[in-house]
Each structure stands twice: as C-alpha cells, then as structure tokens.
Structure 1
Amino acid sequence: MRLARVLSLLAAILTAVTLVAPVAAAEPPFRLPDYVTDNAGVLDDGQLANVQHAVDALYRDRHVRLWVVYVDSFAPKTAVSWTEETRRASDLSDQDAILAIATKQRSYAFLVPSAAAGGATSAQVDNVRLNQVEPALHNGDWTGAAIAAANGLAGLSATKTGGSGVSALIPLVIIAGLIVLAVVVLLLWSRRRRQKRHEAEVAAAKRVDPTDPNALASVPLDALDELSRSIVVDVDNAVRTSTNELALAAEDFGQQQADRFNRAVENAKVTLQQAFNVRQQLDDAIPETPAQRRDLLTRVVVAAAQANRELDAQTEAFHELRDLVLNAPDRLDGLTQKLVDVSARIDPAQATLTQLHTEFADTALASVARNVAAAKERLDFADHSISRARELAAKPVSGEQGELVDSVRSAESALQQAGSMLDAVDSAASDIRHAVATLPSAIADTQQGINQAVAQLTQGGLSNTDELTAARDAAVAAVTAAQTDGTSDPLGAFTQLTQADADLDRLLAGAAEERDTAERLGRSFDQALFTAQSRVRSVSDYIDTRRGSVGPEARTRLNEAVRQLEAAQAKQKTNVTEAIAHANGASMLTAQAQQLANSDVQSAQRTYMNHHGGVGGSSNMGAVIGGLILGNILSGGVRGGLGGGGGWTSSTYGGSQGPAAGGDMFGGGGRF
C-alpha cells in the first residue's frame, strides 16, 4: 500500500510537469537584425557561414536580398502571417525575399516579391519552394534549405529566358541577322554623315579669323586639327615663294630697299618654325588629353596665321616697289607735270595770304602764315629729286635702283605736301569765317554735353566713370579756352571744341546705352522671374494635389527649378545676365516637371481603372491619386499590405511609410 501511494504521487508529479512544460517556445514577429538570424540555434559556425555565403552570392549576382530566419515556433500565428509581419517590421522592399523556418513546429514560409523574382512566374517560385526548399526541410537540412532558396532565386532569370529547342532559336537568329544588317547600314550612314559634317566644319573653320584664339575655341577638335595641317603647308609654301622672289628683287633695287621685306620673311620663318615644332609635338608617340591637344592645335594655327600676315603686310608694298622700278620713266614724266602745276599756284597763294592778313589778326593765321614759303621749299626739293631720278633711270646699273626708288618717292611726298599747304591757304578765309560764325553754337553744344556728363556721373553706376570724368574736364577746358582765345585763334578754338565735344558725345552715348541695357535687362529679369515663380508655384500645387501618383522624376525637376529660382534671386544685384539665365532655367525645368507629372497621373489613372473596371471602388481613385489614402498605385498595383490582402491606408502627418506590399507576392508556406 505504501509503495502504491509513492508510485501514484510520482505519476501525478510527472503528469503535472508534462502539462506545464511547453513543447516549443513561440517567438513573436520581430525586426530581423541580419540576413541570417538563427534564434533556434540549429546552425553551427560553419553552417552559418555557408548560408551567409549563398545569400551574399545571390545579392552579388542579381541584387536580390534573401533574409533567412530560424525560430522554434510561429504559434499562435500561421507561418505566412508570421513571416508577413516580420517582413513589415523589418522594412523589407521589392528586392527582399524571406525564408522563415520554425524548426520545432516544423513550419515554414518562403515569400518572394515579383520584382525579386526577376520576371519569373508564381509557378516557377513555387517550383523552387516545393521541389528544392521543402525537401531539404523535410530531411532536417536547415543549411541546405536556405542555400536551396538562394540558389533557386539566382536561377529564376536563367529559367525564364531558357529556350525550348533549336526551333525557338530560329526567330532569334533571324532577328539578330536583321539587327546586324541594320547596324551595318546605320554605321555606313553614320560614317557618311560624319564625313559631311566634318567637311562642313572644316569649311567653317577656314572662315574663322585664324589669329584669334577665342574664335578658334568654337571650332571642333577634328576640324581644328585639319585646319592646322593645311595652314602650315600653305604658309610654308608662301614663305618659300617669297624667299625666292625676294632674292631676285634685291638684285633690281638693292639690298637696302629689300631689307624691310627680308625682315618680314625672316620673322615669318621664325613664327612658322614655332608652328612646326608644336605640330611635331602633336605627331609624336606621346598622347595628349583633348584639352592639351586643343591648346597645341590653336597655337599651331595662330602662329602660322601670324607668319602669313607678316608676309601679307608687305606684299602690296613689295609689288609697288617692283612696279616703280619698271615704270620709272613714265612716273617721272607725271611728277614733272605735277611740279609745274603746283609751282603755278605759288603767286596766287601768296596774294591770298596777304589779303588774309588785312582781314584777320596774325594769331588767327598762325597755322597758315608760312605755308607759301614752306611750299616753295618742298617744290625745290621735288625738282632736285626728279632730276636725280632721271639720271639713275638712264643708268643700267641694278645696284642703284634703290636710290631711284627713294628719289621718286621723295618727289611724290614733297609735291603732295606742297599742294596741301597751298590748299590750306586757299581755304583759310572760309575756314576762319566759318569758325568765327559757328564758335558760339559749338560752345553751347559742348556745354550741353558737359551738363549731361555731370548728370550721368551724379547718378552713378557707370562702368566708364573715370573716362567720362576725364572727357568732361577736357571739354570744360576747351570751352574756357574758346571763350578766352576764340577771337585770336578761332580755327584752333573750334578744332579743340569739336574734338572735346566728340569725345564727350561718344562716352555719353555709351553711358546712355549702358543704362538702357541695364533697364532692358531689369525688365527682362522681372519678366523671367515672374514666369519662373508662377510656373514653380503652379507645378508645386499640381504635384501636391496629386502626390499619390507623381513619381520622383517630376519632383526632382521641380526641386532643381526651385534651386535655379533661388540662384536667380541671389544674383539679381551682382550679375543680372546670369540671374536671367537661372530664371529661364527654372522655367524650363518646371515645364519638364509638369510633363513628367502629367504622364505619371495619366498612368496611375489607367492602372486604377484597369483594376476596378470603372465601377465599385473606383470612387476612391481621386483620393488615391491625391495621396489622401495610400496604395501602391505607382508600382503598377492598386492594393495595400503584403500579399495583396490589405486595403487602403490613410495619409497623414509623418514620414514615408514605404512600399507596403512591393507589388505581387509569390511563394507561400506550410508544414514539412
């Protein structure tokens, strides 16, 4: 009896212990700390490393993240619901798949978003789950199940694109052939088009001033290279031709006359040599960057063009010199006739000058008082030069042709000066009378310009303040001199006044144009700023009232437009031209943002209507597009929650909720 009581007591204690002790500790859904989480303690260090390696390889190859979690039990939740809640708690996205395994409960769930499936079908995901993952779990191979899930996901894209035999390849081969043919035709057409464009660019480059580096900066690099090649050849030929012709010409009119032409040729040779040196640097085996190549090519073109201009500057004079030697007798006959004509004007000019002295003070005639005497001196010199030139022209000695040229040119210059002096005497009376008559109005005009300059300088804000100040002071001095000495030297006073007035008018015109430009730019800025502000405000309101359907591209353009608008306002005072450019840039960006936002809204409307068919819940479309209730309409679906079971979520203050379902969800779970 006593033994029976003891045995009954032990049995009762064992029964109580069995009822109290749980079979497996259930673990609630939680935020996964890492890609592989073994809360069940079923993996050793090596097995954990193998699973982690498979997960890492999947991400490296396909950028799909697989999260693996081992727990004892999902109870009281089902495997799928526990996994969905853990997925939400872990903020997993469209590229995150999850494999959850309850080792003691012998349940699992394998959920794969459609985006992570790489375009594979739900049936293909189920094939991985049922034929690769689940058999490993059934055998208690916890490591193999996770590795099978990772490898299965990695192979989904290959399975999706696999062929069904040789016949499936035939259309692909035909398409590939057509593509190759199209590519060949496109390449040939593109090559011909590039050639024509290159020829046009070279032709345009030859019209650019080759001595201006700024002008050459707009020439494409290939065209600049061809221009540099052609110009060094052309200029080298010109230098060689000029050298040969100069050697022959020196024999005709002497080395002294040839020296200035020889200097031009030598300078051209030195400059051209610099161009060849740079060209050699371009042609050597050491490559240059595009920027370095452009700099070197520009130096070649500029140097060669400068050498060419050295020669061109002397070409006309060189030809005139040779013609002068060849046509000396005829030229001397013409000069002799001109000497006779100018000499005949001496006595009438002297009479005119004597009469002027009876009408005007000596100070008023100071500029022409010695003109007749000086003209006689020039005529005597011309007569002597013509005589010497005739002597030299009669001699066949080539070495004296240089003196012949000098004599002819000296006679020409002397006769020209003598004629100008006598012309001044003839026009002195009318010029003085005109100066006396118009001096008061000239003083008044100049004074008006002075007053305008004072007004402009007082207003300030001009770029040429110093220059305008100096011109105003010079005009004040000219007016003072005219008022003081105008009667004694009216021509001198009039000349000084007109020069000062002209300088002042030029600077005042520049100041007026500068102010007009500033006002015009100010008006342009106000208009550009108003347009940009209006468009930014309009597009911002559009996106705000349709935020549930407008994607990131439109928002990005709008954000950049706001930045450009702020830059425009910041530069309004310092650089109005740049400010206008920023404002116009903001308007352009808002136009792009509007277009992108319109496309997003239209796409969202089509997606919603296709799902609801225009009835039932379609009354919620405006609220969804306006962001009043949240759904995943932007990703092509119209459902909330994971796996497609949720409804709409109200939008309210706070951070972004992120994608709730990540599109369609493949996979499932169960016992193993």
Structure 2
Amino acid sequence: MTSSLIRGRPRRAKAHIRVRVVHAVLGVVVGAGWLVLPVMTAGPQDPVPVAPTGTVASAAAPQQDETSTTDLVLPLIAVAAAVGLAGYGYLRRTRRARTRTTPGIVSPAPPAPTQADSERQARAALILADDCVRTSREELPFVQAYFAETETEPFVHALRAAETELAAACAIWRRYEQRVPQDAAARRQALVGVVGRCAEAGRRLDAEAPALDRLRELEGPGLAGALEVAEGRFRELTGRTLTAEDTLTAVHDRCTPAAVAPVTGYLEQAKDRLVFATMRLNEARQSADAGDGARAAAQLRAAEGAVAQADMLVTGVERLAAELREAAELVPAVLTGAEAEIAAVRKGGVPVPLTSGELHARLAHADAVLAAVRRELTAGPYDPLDALRRIARAVERLETGHAGAPSAAALLVARSCVAGAEDFVTVHRGAVGPEARVRLAEAVRELGAGHAGPADFLAREARDLAERNVRAHGNPHTSADGDAPGLAAAVLGGVLLAEDPDAGPPASYGGPQSRARRRFSAPA
C-alpha cells in the first residue's frame, strides 16, 4: 500500500529531483571536458628553426613545465565551479525545505478543529441556512403574484428542497444536544453532517438565484411591474392594520392579557416596517426615474422584505383572534368529552397502564383542572387556548389512548403555538440563535406527525428562547435623532443584513453566496 506521505507528494517534487540530477550530470560533463581538452588539442608542431643541440635541450624543460601547469589550471577551475554550484543548490534546497508550506511533505498539518470550534461552525451554519430559507420564502410570493405558476415552479422546488435539508440539519443538531450519539468520533461526524446539510440548503437556493433575477429583471423592464405588486400589497396591508387594531381591542375585552400576550406589540412593529417600506418604495421610484436600475432594485427588495414582515405581524394578530374565538366555542364540548373520558376510566371501562395509586392521583388532578376551567368560564375574561391546553393535558395523563374532543383541542392549541413561534422567529431573526430555531423545527415536525403535546411544548420552549435572545441582543442601528425610521426594525427582522455600518444590503432569495447580491449604490 502506498503511504499517505507518498500519496501526498506533489508532482513538483519529482521535477525538483530531475533538476538536481541534471545539474550533477552537467557538472561532471563540464569537469571531464576540461580534463580531456589538452589531449584533444594535441597535434603536430609547427616547424621551428634548427638550433644547436645544447640550446634545444636547455630550453625544453622549462617549456614542458609551463605547459603542464597551464593544462591543469582550467580543469581545476571547472571542478571548483561544479562543486560551488552543487553547494549552492544544496543550500537552496535546505532553505526551501525549512520554509516549505506544502501540506504532507515537510510542514506539519494544521491542527484539527476542536469540538468547540466544530460546534461554533455548526451553530453559525444553522443560523445562516435558516435565514436564507426564511428570506427566500418572503420574496417568493412577490414573484408568484406577477408570473405564472409554471415560471415560478423551479424556485418553489428549490425552496422546498432547501427546507428539507435544513430540517435534516436541525434534527441532527437536536439529537446532538440530547447526547446522541455519545461516541466522540460519531459526535464530530454529526457536526460535519449539520454543516454539510446547511451548505446543501444554501447551494440549492444559490443555484436558482440567477434565474430568478433573469425572470424578474428588476434592474430593467421588470421593475415597473414589481413596484406595482409591492405597492398594491402595501396599500392593502395599511387597511388591514387599522382593522386589526379594532380586532385586538375586541379580544382584550373578552380575554385575559395572557391570552393576547403572543401578539403584544405586533401592530406597532408592523407600522414600523410599513414606514420603512414607504421610504424605500419612494426611493425606488426616484432611482428608477433617474435611470439607476441597480439602486432601484435594491430599494425595492428592502421594501418587499418590510412589507412581507408587516403582513406576517398583522396576520398573526388576525389568526390569534380567530383561534381564540374557535377555542372559546370549543371549550364546553371539550369539557363534556373530558368528563365522559374520566367517568369511563373510573368505571373501569377503559384499560390504562397505571397502578392504582397513580390512577387515583391523576384522576384527582383531572377533576381539579376541569373544575377550575368551569369557574373561569363564569368568572369573566379568561384564556380559551390555555383552558383547552390544561384540559387536554389532564386527560392525556390518564393514558387511555382515545382520540376525542380533548385530542382535537390539543391540535388546535399546538397549531396556534407553533404558528406564533414561527412568526416571532421570522420577524426577529436578526437576533435569534440556533437553539430556538432547532426546537421550532422539531415542533413543526412533531405537529406534522400529529403529536400535539410535544409540538406545543417545543414551540413554547422555542418562543421563550427566542424572546430571551431578542432581549439580550439590542440593536446598534437604532437612530438617536429619528432620521432613519424603521431601520432598527428592518435590521432586527433580517430585512437588512447588517453587514455594513449603514445596516447593509437587503436580503434576497438565495443562499449564502447570493442573498446579499443587491447592494445600495450611491444616488446618481
């Protein structure tokens, strides 16, 4: 088997070996040439005048000594030059070997990342992938409102694929948090899986971003139509915001403050984003009139993001009001169904996997819960969703396995809680960490499987974690003198990416490589 060191040797190393061999051979050839040069140049001497015998004999010895010395000097010089070249080459090779940075040859390999480094990388990957998915989800409706379904289908498909990859990454991270697996090597591999899944989610969105830009043509003829769509949604949303205020006032009259706590402040946040959208739409029009298509497209994307989040906030208020009405209508029927379930257990008509003591304690608890809910119904304003939650949990603890009115109530409560957590994380994603996002993803998965209890619990936990993140985050882009209304809300909501001191570019459909492609240029 070939060793890893040999496999890692670059081809340049073989070239260096060949060069060294050539240098050595060249030195030997040059030295040999100088040594044989006197022999090759020996030949018949020119005729000389006849001299006396004594004179010739006396002069021959000095001439031969001079010739012999001359013949040896040049070869010695050549040999010395060859030795010098070889020494110089050896010094260069030694110096190069000491400073070489090629991995696998001389320099040591970089240190492997620690477990903490890998966890930080996985956390950052989860946040980035989740942001890209949510941003793409916000822009897509503006595209679908102007183009045919067949034209937007590739972008919808890419978004669904990215959501699937992100959900898988969240599931791996959730198991990692629960110490599954426990083997150190397997845990490192799990973190690699999280990063890889998140990268694939971003790649799917990055791959479709250029095609989306070609379809929309926001820097050219497509800008006018896109502005009309955004302005139409803006006008409709302005009217809905006023109606939602009246709706929320009516909910306050018949429910406790705890019942409306999930949407407290939502309409104020929606108004902030609408103010921000107004400014950006106006600037987009002005840039378009000035012929600056790139700036107009960036301003439009910022306005679209703000309008999308304002829509989500207003919709959250409307949805909660509807869910509270539905829950209030359902409470009497659920109470009746729960009492029937408890009576059946007492009579022994429903087998339960509990000991006598456990069953007695849980029946007493269920009786107390139902009695408390009945008192609340007659005492004044109450929280219908919380009443359903308590009834459903009390009956669920009896472990009868029956699906009746309490189970339907539990699903209504879980859907409401998951949707509320989704809204909160989306419109505050500039501050929300990975823990809240992962628990929310698991809540969505549990709800899809029909597990209302776990979905409700995880969604409430995700909301609590997200609110804690927002309180601890703050916002460096809040304007002290009020010259940038809505800017802080846009940064907190991830409408602007906060990559620059001026709050950065608007987020667009795409992955990590393309979501910041539309940047604000200086006004023409």
User: Scaled by the length of structure 2, what TM-score is found?
Assistant: 0.29
Q: Which has the larger radius of gyration?
A: 1
The higher relative CO (CA closer than 8 Å, separation ≥ 6) is in: 2
Structure with the higher strand share, 1 or 2: 1
User: Scaled by the length of structure 1, what TM-score is found?
Assistant: 0.24
